Amino acid sequence: MSDAQDHKQKMQQVQAQHRKKVSEAVDPGRGLVLINTGKGKGKSSAAFGVVIRALGWGQKVAVVQFIKGKWKTGERRFFEERDLVTWHTMGEGFTWDTQDRDRDIAAATAAFDKARDLMASGDYDLVVLDEINIALRYEYLSVDAVIEGLKSRSDRTSVFLTGRDAPQALREYADLVTEMTEEKHPFQAGIKAQRGVDF
Amino acid sequence: MSDAQDHKQKMQQVQAQHRKKVSEAVDPGRGLVLINTGKGKGKSSAAFGVVIRALGWGQKVAVVQFIKGKWKTGERRFFEERDLVTWHTMGEGFTWDTQDRDRDIAAATAAFDKARDLMASGDYDLVVLDEINIALRYEYLSVDAVIEGLKSRSDRTSVFLTGRDAPQALREYADLVTEMTEEKHPFQAGIKAQRGVDF
């Protein structure tokens, strides 16, 4: 068999397998729970990429940021200027900037109250809880409360949770868990964070 | 020491370490080369999240899609409707749909010629080569040609390359490599791909 024929046969097999899997898959009739975790870059940016995808289909999106309050990021500038999504920021910045545990707990709790309302409202196709895993890791929020909030979401609503160290109970409840692993990072090579790339 | 004091001290240490690393980092004076690879979800969407970040700072962005030609994705709809980025699609769809190796090679080569022009032009802060690793994996492009193209990019331009199975030589040349690992995926549980989430 020629290389071209061999290639064609292989691709036909790949196509057939793919079609079979697609045809057997079912619609769950509810939004999904998705987690991006791990130490690697791309957890929040992948969630914002999915926001773009949802907006491209005319869907409604809300974002609650649990940690990056003070910092003005490119994504926040982009979405706020265009009024494309409902945006809510916890407003206290990175936890190592506040150094006040009680204030962090109060801020995280208030942000999650807001998140629960957004998820339950039925007004959104997608709600992003950005860096919520950090709030869980520092025990500013309990994982039980977060899972309760996810369970009371509207059937219409998918939820994307980001941040390193997602707790096990949350991983078990989720439909999708992606671990981002850092193989190589410019900051480790002494390269400064770049506007547009890193924030 | 009280819990609150203990927390404050820990956070001060984290803050000091973070500030030291930041103050020692240098600006490379050139755009970075970034790779998202691995089998997990989020490789392309993280690149599109970085596109949003760059646009939020008023930067100029181009995207060349090497594989998902025929498919109308939410991100493509979003960016094309708003004319926010220079968008170029290889136009042949997934390789298992064409089943013609010569046509795939010609299409990939033409797309990379376009990509090389965009990278060298000096007109862009960020160029995304979406799914180019797939074209490398099927040997539609040579890794040497791709690295040559990256080397001839403008100093102004960062390049984001996505797709599973990034070749080793490309990983070595890049500033950042993130591996996306699938811990749990709804498609494996028989759940259909969801508009807005998966495409």
Q: Distance, in angstroms, between B42 CA and closest chain A CA?
A: 5
Task: Supply the pLDDT for residue B91.
Answer: 65
Q: 151-190 in A: which are within 8 Å (CB) of B? A: 158, 171, 174-187, 189-190
Structural tokens at position A130:
């950005």
Q: Which two tokens stand for residue A160?
A: 């994307």
Amino acid identity of B167?
P
pLDDT band at A97 (very low <50, low <70, confident <90, very high): low
> DSSP readout, B155-185?
TT-EEEEE-SS--HHHHHH-SEEEEEEEEE-
Answer yes or no: are the C-beta atoms of B61 and B127 closer than 8 Å. yes
Nearest to B176 by CA among A181, A71, A195: A181
**pLDDT by residue (tens digit) across B107-118?**
899 999 999 999
pLDDT over 70 at B63, yes or no: yes
A163 phi and psi angles, rounded to 5 deg = 120, 150
Chain B CB contacts of A183 under 8 Å are 171, 177-179
* Predicted confidence (pLDDT) at residue B21 exceeds the cutoff of 80: no
Among chain A residues, CA nearest to B31:
A194
User: In the numeric block, which tokens belong to residue B43?
Assistant: 């490789």
Q: Above 70 in pLDDT, residue B83?
A: yes
- The phi and psi torsions of A143 (rounded to 5 degrees) equal -65, -35
Q: Given CB atoms, is B103 within the 8 Å cutoff of chain A?
A: no
- DSSP class of A118: H
- What are B131's two structure tokens? 């799914």
Residue partners of B82: CB distance under 8 A and separation at least 6: none
pLDDT reported for residue B196: 85
Neighbour count for residue B148 (Cβ, 10 Å) = 11
Q: In sequence order, which residues have a C-beta less than 8 Å from that of residue B184 and are 6 or more positions away?
A: A171, A174, A175, A176, A177
Confirm if A64 and A70 have CB atoms less than 8 A apart.
no
Split at pLDDT 50, 70, 90, the class of A71 is: low
Q: Does A30 touch chain B (CB under 8 A)?
A: no
How far is Cα B45 from Cα B41, in angstroms, rounded to an integer?
Answer: 8
A29: contact with B, CB 8 A cutoff:
no
Strand, coil or helix: A199: coil
Q: In the prediction, which pLDDT does B137 show?
A: 93
Please give the C-alpha separations between residue A126 and each of A132, A161, B79, in angstroms, as whole numbers.
15, 11, 19
Give chain A positions within 8 Å (CB) of B74: 52-57
Contact A199 B53 (CB under 8 A): yes
The pLDDT of residue B70 is above 80 = no
Question: How many CA atoms, within 13 angstroms, populate the side-chain half-sphere of residue A160?
Answer: 30
pLDDT confidence bin for B39, thresholds 50/70/90: very high
List the one residue out of B19, B75, B70, B12 whose CA is nearest residue B42.
B75
Interface test with B, best of A2, A17, A99, A125 (most B CBs within 10 A): A99
Mean per-residue pLDDT, B141-165: 97
Q: Lowest-pLDDT range, A2-11, A101-110, B162-171?
A: A2-11
For residue A14, pLDDT over 80 is answered with no
Mean pLDDT over B142-157 rounds to 98
Task: Indicate whether B68 pLDDT > 80.
Answer: no
Which of these, B145, B183, B154, B172, lies nearest to B35 by C-alpha position? Answer: B172
d(CA B66, CA B112) in angstroms, rounded, equals 8
Looking at residue B26, its pLDDT comes to 75
Indicate if the pLDDT at residue B24 is higher than 90.
no
pLDDT of residue A69 exceeding 60: no
Residues 6+ apart with CB under 8 A from B183: A171, A177, A178, A179, B40
| Sign of torsion over alpha carbons B127, B130, B133, B139 | negative
Confirm or reject contact between A32 and chain B (CB < 8 A): yes
Q: What confidence score (pLDDT) does residue B184 get?
A: 83
Q: Which residue of A has its CA nearest to B170?
A: A184
Q: What interface predicted TM-score (ipTM) does this complex get?
A: 0.80
Q: A105: distance to nearest CA of chain B, Å?
A: 12
Q: Across the interface, which of B27, B81, B101 has its CB nearest the CB of A192?
A: B27
Angle formed at CA B5 by CA B1 and CA B9, multiple of 5 degrees: 110
Q: Rounded mean pLDDT of B100-124?
A: 93
Structure tokens at B60: 């100029």
**Pairwise CB contact (< 8 Å): A28 & B178:** no
Give yes or no for residue B22 having a pLDDT over 90: no
Which domains, ranges and CATH numbers included, belong to chain B?
30-179 (3.40.50.300)
Tell me the two tokens of residue B132: 């180019």
Q: pLDDT grade, residue B94 (50/70/90)?
A: low
- Tracing tokens 């024929």 back to the chain, one arrives at A5
Q: Which amino acid is at B32?
A: L
First to last CA, chain B: 52
Average pLDDT over chain A, rounded to whole?
88
Q: Return the bridge partners of B129, or none.
A: B64, B161
CA atoms within 13 A on the CB side of A126: 28
pLDDT in tens, A84-93: 999 998 866 5
Query: For residues A181 and A164, what is the distance between their CA atoms, to the nearest angstrom?
Result: 10
User: How do residues A25-59 score in pLDDT, each as one tens digit?
Assistant: 777 889 999 999 999 999 999 999 999 999 999 99
Whether A74 and chain B come into contact, CB under 8 Å, resolves to yes
